[in-house]
């Protein structure tokens, strides 16, 4: 099962599975070869429930394939989502750097050629210049496979990929890089399952000394086997190259007209007409000059038989070039002016039944997407559809994409968000584009995560300066569908830590960011009502009859994005005149009024970004540096906090009393940053771990008059490197610590208040950055420890505690499950948290977050 570990003598081996497998004898290989037959009760089944992730903020990051699925880069991972369910299906591990671009083979443009394909392919390129080819088998439950990594040909990051499907089993594609080099590749797909893909580099073109940011590849009209490649970069010119499928590409002409960087290029397929052969294709280009240009490439005759007349019109008609035995001319068909900011993306509508529609989708940083078509009578290109996030919170679109059937359009924006519209009209003359549900998530590293008190939702914080609530929504379908429920905090600093306030009463949480202030938030009435429409509902933790006391409907954000002011119930119908006619600095506050309402279906990005905020109720001052860790006791009476520290004075742990929010204690023990804090389940002990390689255990007591007393019980140098995380046993005073030294150690507090090490798990292959302990059986004192590593992998270990008078506390451990890489994170796991459950349950739910921008939820059946 695992060749690199020496298991301790008491260890029990466990078989794990992700799909139903035959229960045969399994050979496990460690130092010796062991033959062990597994029994029924030793299996742990893992199920992926949810992935939340935002899109990398780069232009060519998203691709909509003929398979109907959408691919995008989420930090180092390639994520795949289904637009029909608005769920991220999987993430593909393999890249070591941020993913810049993805491209399906075939893409939506060639969907008419791929109606019966069993296998689809995907290309992804990253900032290190690496390109990976993936395979999706649609006839075997959408299984993914890493096919190959292309030979390293780019010295700098891959910026764009374009492809042309020659047939169902053959394609050409080109990749551009920020070093100005464009490589042209040929790929042959296997016709039999036993065969493999074959990829070869046809040509390498040093097109420019500066970056190439967009490419488009097309077959020349009436000239099979000859292709044209359009390139756009930073010199405001479109470069056209021509070449054969087996030969070199040569420069044939440059198209001038744009006055700023070329941002997007897309060739149409050949234009079919009833009265003449297909002798022309079109190229659409967009630029940072806010203008879209349509170029027409026309076959004008055989080489030598056509000669241009020297007239004034010849200057307008554009350049002429030869390819093979034909001559072609490129001319400007139309210039489209309508966007008010950089146009990042243009794309032709995918053909239907081999017919290329004259319809172009453009996406711009002016927060709009437009569909352009020529008028039937005049032939003049006009904007017929305009959609977009017109609120202040959207900072524009990086790209727009058509669905294969041409009835949906997808944009991805500056905030890592997706925006999907679908034409729901049944009439061909009238179009009605309505917003649809899309997946969402953080677009930067997720630093911390926690469950609500009874597990009805989870709360995550990120370096993208947001706090997000995720929950499953009620639906008629069998599968559980998770969506982002609210965005309680949109801040002006990166957020490092979060803790839910336990106990009775309204939902509250505390968060700490790259500032010295701990902020307290309380759920508004709009959120409490929305919670009733989730699968868990809101009755369990805060009954509806008590919600009548909540007088805050929602919150407004300040102009600087640091404080969130409450909107009271009685004044909600009278919006405040916040920017009405003020002079001076007040005129810069252009943030509109929020309109919080009860949501009966998953909110869209515009609602999330501004209308689901929670009001900030308190600020807690005291720390001298940026906040790093937070935790709350299980009774909901104390919150502990720590900040970044280089000295013992700054490494103090502060205790805050919930309700009054007064500082009631300052605990001193560590000399460097306290990285993690956690109260024991009986709330009598507080455990802290630090960069100084020590852990400390404090006793926390309440006096008769309500004061809090604290005492340092133990301080132990536990690891050889920084300690990243800790977790208490739910059934006793044992705890686990995890460290950069690749170890997890189990400790016990004995009756004489002495701390002893009872077990060390075998050394892991990577730094252990997260650990979480949950109980399985209270009578047996058995539990499960989830271990998260710097390489993104997650393992589960069964732990059994035994206490005797003679030996004291002892423990045994067994590997229960090692998750497949396709289910895990692709970068460091920052936090693991088990959902609060009743004791002795066989189905457990775990959530994790990491540097790959992802929030993940798993179900484990023991």
Domains and CATH numbers, the chain: 445-501+521-565+594-621 (no CATH), 625-717 (2.40.10), 730-861 (2.130.10.10)
Return the number of other C-beta atoms located less than 10 Å from residue 710's C-beta.
17
Q: Given strand 708-717, what is the order of strands in its sheet?
A: 674-679, 685-690, 694-702, 708-717
Specify the pLDDT at position 272.
Answer: 64
- Mean predicted confidence (pLDDT) in 156-172: 91
Sorting pLDDT into bands at 50, 70 and 90, what band is 250?
very high
**For residues 314 and 364, which has the higher predicted lDDT (pLDDT)?**
364
Specify the pLDDT at position 134.
Answer: 94
Residue 805, C-beta contacts closer than 8 angstroms, at least 6 positions apart: none
pLDDT in tens, 593-605: 767 777 788 888 8
- Which of 246-250, 440-444, 500-504 has the lowest average pLDDT? 246-250
Q: Is a pLDDT exceeding 70 seen at residue 1?
A: no
pLDDT in tens, 63-90: 999 999 999 999 999 999 999 999 999 9
CA distances to 255, 492, 584, 611 from 588, rounded to whole Å, are 42, 16, 8, 21
Structure-token pair, residue 537:
């509902």
Closest CA to 178 of 123, 242, 126, 246: 126
Q: Is a pLDDT exceeding 90 seen at residue 697?
A: yes
Cα distance between residue 657 and residue 640, in whole Å:
9
Sorting pLDDT into bands at 50, 70 and 90, what band is 278?
confident
**For residues 229 and 31, which has the higher predicted lDDT (pLDDT)?**
229
Structure-token pair, residue 147:
């096919």
pLDDT in tens, 447-481: 999 999 888 899 999 999 999 999 988 765 667 78
Specify the pLDDT at position 7.
Answer: 35
Task: Determine contact, residues 630/640, Cβ cutoff 8 Å.
Answer: yes
Specify the pLDDT at position 192.
Answer: 79
Cα distance between residue 510 and residue 771, in whole Å:
21
- Mean predicted confidence (pLDDT) in 428-437: 88
Specify the pLDDT at position 708.
Answer: 87
Q: Is a pLDDT exceeding 70 seen at residue 274?
A: no
Sorting pLDDT into bands at 50, 70 and 90, what band is 128?
very high
Q: Is a pLDDT exceeding 50 seen at residue 644?
A: yes
Specify the pLDDT at position 14.
Answer: 33
pLDDT in tens, 475-517: 656 677 899 999 999 888 999 999 999 888 889 999 999 999 9
DSSP string computed for 341-388: S-EEEEEEPPPBTTB--S-EEEEETTSEEEEEEE-TTT--EEEEEEEE
In this prediction, what percent of the chain has a pLDDT beyond 90? 55
Specify the pLDDT at position 17.
Answer: 32
Cα distance between residue 535 and residue 458, in whole Å:
13
Cα distance between residue 612 and residue 393, in whole Å:
13
Specify the pLDDT at position 572.
Answer: 42
CA distances to 237, 456, 472, 829, 855 from 848, rounded to whole Å, are 47, 16, 16, 7, 6
DSSP string computed for 45-82: EEEEEEEE-PPPSSTT--EEBTTS-EEEEETTEEEEEE
SS3 content of the chain, % helix, strand, coil (to 5): 5, 50, 45
Specify the pLDDT at position 591.
Answer: 53
Q: Which helix (H) or strand (E) covers residue 312, if one does? A: helix 312-317
Mean pLDDT for all residues in the chain: 84
- Mean predicted confidence (pLDDT) in 134-155: 87
In this prediction, what percent of the chain has a pLDDT beyond 70? 86
Q: Is a pLDDT exceeding 60 seen at residue 545?
A: no
Burial 544-583 (b: 16+ CB within 10 A, else e): eeebeebebbbbbbeeeebebebbeeeebeeeeeeeeeee
In the DSSP assignment, the letter for residue 31 is S
Sorting pLDDT into bands at 50, 70 and 90, what band is 573?
very low
Specify the pLDDT at position 609.
Answer: 79
Cα distance between residue 346 and residue 374, in whole Å:
16
pLDDT in tens, 98-110: 999 999 999 999 8
- Mean predicted confidence (pLDDT) in 796-802: 92
Q: Given strand 755-760, what is the order of strands in its sheet?
A: 723-728, 734-739, 744-749, 755-760
Sorting pLDDT into bands at 50, 70 and 90, what band is 824?
very high
Sorting pLDDT into bands at 50, 70 and 90, what band is 395?
confident
Specify the pLDDT at position 300.
Answer: 81
Q: Is a pLDDT exceeding 70 seen at residue 173?
A: yes
Specify the pLDDT at position 506.
Answer: 85
Task: Determine contact, residues 272/226, Cβ cutoff 8 Å.
Answer: no
Cis ω for the linkage preceding 106 (within 30 of 0):
yes
pLDDT in tens, 576-592: 343 333 333 333 334 55
The DSSP bridge partners found for residue 52 are: 855
Sorting pLDDT into bands at 50, 70 and 90, what band is 26?
very low
In the DSSP assignment, the letter for residue 827 is S
Specify the pLDDT at position 208.
Answer: 75
Specify the pLDDT at position 391.
Answer: 52
Q: Is a pLDDT exceeding 50 seen at residue 35?
A: no
Closest CA to 523 of 498, 506, 505, 502: 506
Backbone angles phi, psi at 529, to 5 degrees: -70, -40
Q: Is a pLDDT exceeding 90 seen at residue 175?
A: yes
């Amino acid at each position: 099962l695992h060749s690199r570990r020496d298991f301790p003598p008491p260890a029990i081996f466990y078989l794990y599975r992700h799909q139903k497998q035959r229960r045969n004898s399994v050979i496990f290989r460690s130092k010796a070869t062991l033959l062990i037959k597994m029994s029924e009760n030793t299996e742990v089944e893992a199920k992926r429930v949810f992935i939340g992730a935002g899109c990398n903020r780069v232009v060519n990051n998203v691709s909509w394939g003929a398979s109907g699925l959408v691919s995008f880069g989420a930090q180092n991972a390639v994520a795949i989502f289904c637009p029909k369910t608005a769920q991220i299906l999987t993430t593909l591990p393999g890249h070591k750097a941020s993913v810049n671009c993805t491209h399906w083979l075939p893409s939506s443009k060639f969907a008419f050629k791929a109606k019966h394909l069993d296998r689809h392919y995907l290309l992804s390129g990253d900032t290190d210049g690496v390109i990976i080819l993936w395979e999706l088998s649609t006839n075997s439950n959408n299984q993914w496979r890493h096919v190959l990594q292309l030979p390293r040909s780019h010295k700098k990051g891959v910026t764009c990929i374009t492809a042309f499907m020659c047939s169902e089993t053959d394609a050409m594609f080109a990749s551009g890089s920020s070093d100005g080099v464009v490589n042209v590749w040929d790929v042959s797909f296997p016709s039999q399952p036993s065969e493999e893909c074959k990829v070869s580099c046809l040509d390498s073109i040093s097109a420019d000394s500066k970056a190439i940011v967009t490419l488009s590849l097309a077959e020349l009209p009436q000239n099979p086997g000859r292709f044209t490649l359009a390139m756009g970069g930073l010199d405001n010119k479109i470069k056209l190259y021509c070449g054969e499928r087996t030969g070199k590409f040569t420069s044939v002409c440059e198209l001038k007209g744009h006055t700023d960087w070329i941002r997007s290029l897309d060739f149409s397929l050949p234009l079919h007409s009833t009265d003449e052969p297909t002798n022309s294709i079109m190229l659409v280009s967009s630029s940072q000059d806010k203008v879209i240009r349509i170029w027409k490439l026309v076959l004008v005759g055989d080489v030598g038989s056509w000669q241009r007349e020297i007239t004034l019109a010849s200057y307008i008609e554009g350049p002429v070039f030869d390819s093979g035995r034909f001559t072609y001319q490129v001319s400007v068909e139309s210039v489209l002016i309508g966007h008010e900011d950089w146009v990042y993306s243009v794309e032709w509508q995918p053909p239907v039944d081999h017919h290329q529609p004259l319809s172009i989708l453009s996406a711009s940083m002016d927060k709009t997407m437009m569909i352009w078509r020529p008028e039937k009578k005049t032939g003049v290109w006009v904007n017929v559809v305009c959609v977009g996030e017109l609120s202040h919170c959207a900072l524009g679109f990086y790209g727009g994409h058509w669905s294969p059937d041409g009835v949906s359009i997808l944009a991805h924006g500056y905030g890592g968000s997706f925006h999907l519209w679908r034409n729901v009209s049944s009439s061909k003359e009238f179009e009605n584009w309505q917003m649809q549900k899309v997946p969402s998530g953080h677009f930067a590293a997720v630093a911390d995560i926690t469950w609500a008190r009874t597990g009805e939702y989870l709360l995550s914080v990120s370096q993208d300066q947001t706090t997000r609530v995720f929950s499953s929504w009620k639906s008629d379908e069998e599968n559980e569908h998770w969506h982002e429920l609210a965005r309680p905090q949109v801040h002006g600093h990166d957020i490092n830590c979060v803790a839910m306030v336990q106990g009775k009463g309204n939902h509250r949480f505390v968060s700490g960011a790259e500032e010295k202030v701990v902020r307290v938030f309380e759920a508004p009435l709009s959120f409490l009502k929305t919670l009733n429409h989730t699968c868990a509902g809101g009755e369990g933790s805060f009954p509806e009859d008590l919600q009548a006391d909540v007088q805050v409907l929602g919150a407004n954000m300040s102009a600087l994005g640091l404080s969130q002011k409450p909107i009271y119930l009685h004044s909600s119908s009278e919006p405040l005149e916040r920017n009405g006619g003020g002079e001076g600095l007040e005129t810069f506050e252009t943030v509109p009024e929020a309109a919080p309402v009860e949501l009966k279906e998953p909110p869209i990005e515009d609602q999330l970004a501004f209308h689901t905020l929670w009001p900030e109720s308190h600020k807690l001052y005291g720390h001298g540096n940026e906040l790093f860790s937070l935790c709350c006791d299980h009774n909901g009476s104390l919150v502990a906090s720590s900040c970044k520290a280089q000295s013992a004075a700054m490494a103090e742990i502060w205790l805050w009393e919930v309700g009054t929010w007064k500082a009631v204690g300052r605990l001193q023990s560590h000399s460097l940053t306290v990285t993690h804090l956690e109260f024991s389940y009986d709330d009598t002990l507080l455990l802290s771990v630090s960069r100084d390689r020590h852990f400390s255990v404090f006793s926390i007591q309440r006096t008769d008059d309500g004061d809090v007393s604290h005492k340092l019980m133990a301080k132990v140098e536990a690891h050889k490197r920084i300690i990243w995380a800790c977790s208490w046993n739910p059934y006793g005073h044992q705890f686990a610590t995890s460290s950069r030294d690749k170890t997890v150690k189990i400790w016990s507090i004995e009756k004489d208040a002495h701390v002893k090490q009872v077990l060390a798990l075998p050394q892991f292959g990577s730094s252990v950055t997260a650990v979480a302990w949950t109980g399985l059986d209270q009578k047996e004192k058995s539990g499960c420890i989830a271990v998260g590593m710097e390489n993104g992998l997650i393992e589960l270990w069964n732990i059994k505690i035994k206490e005797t008078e003679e030996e004291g506390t002892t423990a045994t451990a067994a590997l229960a499950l090692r998750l497949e890489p396709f289910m895990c994170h692709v970068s460091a796991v920052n936090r693991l948290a088990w959902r609060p459950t009743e004791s002795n349950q066989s189905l457990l739910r775990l959530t994790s977050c990491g540097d790959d921008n992802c929030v993940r939820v798993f179900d484990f059946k023991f």
